């Protein structure tokens, strides 16, 4: 499969940083605390190598917020953390919540993480689509606590089989707030055709930028 060139990686990382910074501003307002999110690296790899790239055993439990994408890029994007980091993030960002009788605290934690994940996913992926002149639509975000293997192989329906989801866009993230400093990853498992299309569009953007510089 195709890999990103250094120039393409730089361009895509910059786009992602613009996107997550917009998400960080939304979270800062929502939570009343300054939130800083950065993307130190991006890459497109074979989906079966994601666990090695992230340094996570494929059977290790992770918490994730996932959304299905349709349009120019078909697949599933997930914001994932190690289970303990995800729980720590929610606790530190929303504080100790007064629990109403009969309400499971885990449900509140899951809802909070879904809201955080939805903001980060939509801001980052929307930035990619906007900069590349593409269109995507988002499914409803949902919470999962499962193994990395199950997270990457689960699909929305039979139209996107496990064999088709052969590529993964890895967007490594760091999130900092006054009481939190956690690392996670946005992982988009998508079709080979979507991966090839993304690389072509990023390459077009890089070439346009170079052309503008020479004029």
| Domain tally, the chain | 1
Is residue 56 included in any domain, yes or no?
yes
The token duo for 96 is: 């100790």
Is residue 139 included in any domain, yes or no?
yes
Average pLDDT in the 32-37 region?
87
Is residue 10 included in any domain, yes or no?
yes
CATH of the domain at 171: 3.40.1550.10
Query: Where does the pLDDT of residue 167 fall: very low under 50, low under 70, confident under 90, or very high at 90 and above?
Result: confident
Half-sphere exposure of 109 (CA within 13 A, CB side): 18
For the chain, what is the mean pLDDT?
Answer: 84
The token duo for 206 is: 């890089």
The residue assigned the tokens 């992926």 is 125
Q: Is 213 exposed, middle or buried (0-12, 13-18, 19+ CB in 10 A)?
A: exposed
| Sign of the torsion angle spanned by Cα atoms 120, 161, 73, 45 | positive
Predicted pLDDT of residue 42: 94
Average pLDDT in the 150-167 region?
61
Is residue 152 included in any domain, yes or no?
yes
Average pLDDT in the 207-214 region?
80
**Cα 75 to Cα 47: distance, rounded to the nearest angstrom:** 12
Q: For 172-200, write each residue's pLDDT tens digit.
A: 998 888 776 788 899 988 888 888 999 99
Average pLDDT in the 81-92 region?
77
Single pTM value for the model:
0.87
Full residue range of the structural domain in which residue 171 is found: 6-214
Residue 118 Cα to chain centre, angstroms = 9
Query: Where does the pLDDT of residue 132 fall: very low under 50, low under 70, confident under 90, or very high at 90 and above?
Result: very high
Is residue 175 included in any domain, yes or no?
yes
Is residue 28 included in any domain, yes or no?
yes
Query: Where does the pLDDT of residue 95 fall: very low under 50, low under 70, confident under 90, or very high at 90 and above?
Result: low
Is residue 75 included in any domain, yes or no?
yes
Is residue 1 included in any domain, yes or no?
no
Higher-pLDDT residue of 160 and 80 is 80
Q: For 148-157, write each residue's pLDDT tens digit.
A: 888 877 654 4
């Amino acid at each position: 499969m195709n890999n990103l060139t250094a120039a393409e990686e730089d361009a895509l990382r910059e786009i992602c940083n613009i996107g997550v910074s917009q998400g960080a501003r939304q979270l800062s307002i929502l939570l009343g605390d300054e939130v800083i999110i950065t993307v130190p690296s991006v890459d497109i790899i074979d989906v079966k190598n994601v666990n090695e790239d992230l340094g996570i055993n494929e059977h290790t439990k992770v918490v994730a917020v996932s959304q299905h994408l349709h349009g120019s890029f078909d697949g599933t994007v997930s914001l994932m953390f190690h289970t303990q980091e995800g729980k720590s993030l929610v606790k530190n960002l929303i504080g100790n919540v007064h629990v109403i009788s009969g309400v499971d605290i885990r449900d509140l934690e899951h809802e909070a993480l879904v809201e955080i994940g939805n903001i980060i996913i939509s801001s980052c992926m929307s930035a990619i689509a906007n900069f590349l002149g593409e269109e995507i639509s988002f499914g409803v975000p949902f919470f999962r606590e499962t193994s990395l293997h199950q997270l990457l192989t689960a699909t929305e329906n039979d139209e996107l089989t496990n064999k088709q989801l052969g590529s993964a866009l890895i967007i490594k993230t760091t999130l900092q707030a006054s009481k939190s400093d956690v690392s996670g990853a946005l992982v988009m498992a998508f079709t080979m055709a979507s991966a090839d299309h993304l690389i072509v569009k990023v390459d077009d953007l890089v070439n346009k930028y170079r052309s503008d510089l020479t004029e």
